[in-house]
């Protein structure tokens, strides 16, 4: 996870305030272990940065190269900018070319857009209606499940308090692992090949 220009996961903060840095890297096979150790150290340093919310790494394969999509969540654009300008981040960038093949792709996203796993090839983002359908397909079963599981706990609570446990649990599980998994399973629908 790195960037040429300065500038285990927790539940995400409100979408309008939080920001996610999405980094896509292709790592040469002989350097995968070293890259993962380097990235783990960098993520631990990011976790000590004020405003850090969480990090999630998706790993795939693109031909012979290992593909890593890292989502680093901060509470605000200012907190992310401070991390990207920090000495820890800048020093780590110097080692990144040792591991990667080709250019590293960086994207900042606000809200749930970052979880819609965009392919490495240049392509347009899915239309908003597809994001809505995917979000609904992820959240509705979670709300049903957690409402049913929490029912014995919340009996007798006011209606607005009774939905809090299921809303909290659904939000956590929606962000990880449900949306990343759905976005991979439905990748062809979200990003259809153009002919």
User: CA 180, CA 20: separation in Å to the nearest integer?
Assistant: 14
Q: Which residues pair with 56 in a beta bridge?
A: 71
Which residue has better confidence, 103 or 5? Answer: 103
pLDDT at residue 7 greater than cutoff 50:
no
Note whether 39 and 92 are same-domain residues: yes
Q: How confident is the model at residue 44 (pLDDT cuts 50, 70, 90)?
A: very high
Residue 101: Cβ-neighbour burial (10 angstroms; 0-12, 13-18, 19+): middle
Note whether 75 and 33 are same-domain residues: yes
Residue 47: its pLDDT value, please? 93
Mean pLDDT, residues 49-62 = 86
Which residue has better confidence, 15 or 57? Answer: 57
What is the share, in percent, of the chain residues with pLDDT greater than 70? Answer: 79
CATH number of the CATH domain containing 47: 3.30.70.100
SS (H, E, C) 105-162: EEEEECHHHHHCCCCCCCCCCCCHHHHHHHHHHHHHHHHHHHHHHHHHHHCCCCHHHH
Q: Which domain holds residue 57?
A: 19-115
pLDDT at residue 188 greater than cutoff 80:
no
What is the share, in percent, of the chain residues with pLDDT greater than 90? Answer: 26
Helix (H) or strand (E) segment spanning residue 99: none
Give the pLDDT confidence of 66-80 residue by residue, as tens digits: 889 888 889 888 898
Note whether 110 and 50 are same-domain residues: yes
pTM, full prediction: 0.51
Mean pLDDT, residues 37-53 = 92
Note whether 158 and 186 are same-domain residues: yes
Supply the angle between the helices 128-154 and 164-173 in degrees, to the nearest 10: 140
Check if the beta carbon of residue 185 is closer than 8 Å to that of residue 177: no
């Amino acid at each position: 996870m790195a960037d040429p220009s300065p500038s285990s996961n927790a539940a995400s903060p409100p979408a309008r305030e939080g920001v996610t840095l999405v980094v896509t890297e292709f790592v040469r096979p002989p350097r995968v272990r070293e890259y993962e150790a380097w990235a783990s150290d960098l993520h631990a340093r990011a976790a000590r940065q004020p405003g850090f919310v969480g990090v999630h790494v998706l790993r795939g394969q693109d031909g012979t190269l290992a593909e890593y999509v890292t989502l680093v969540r901060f509470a605000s654009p200012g907190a992310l900018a401070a991390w990207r300008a920090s000495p820890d981040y800048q020093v780590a960038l110097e080692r990144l070319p040792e591991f990667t093949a080709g250019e590293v792709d960086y994207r900042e996203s606000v809200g749930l857009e970052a979880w819609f796993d965009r392919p490495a090839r240049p392509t347009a983002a899915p239309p908003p209606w597809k994001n809505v359908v995917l979000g609904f397909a992820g959240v509705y079963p979670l709300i049903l499940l957690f409402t049913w599981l929490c029912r014995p706990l919340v009996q007798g609570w006011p209606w607005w308090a009774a939905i809090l446990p299921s809303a909290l649990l659904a939000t956590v599980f929606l962000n990880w692992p449900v949306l990343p998994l759905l976005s991979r399973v439905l990748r062809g629908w979200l990003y259809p090949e153009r002919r």
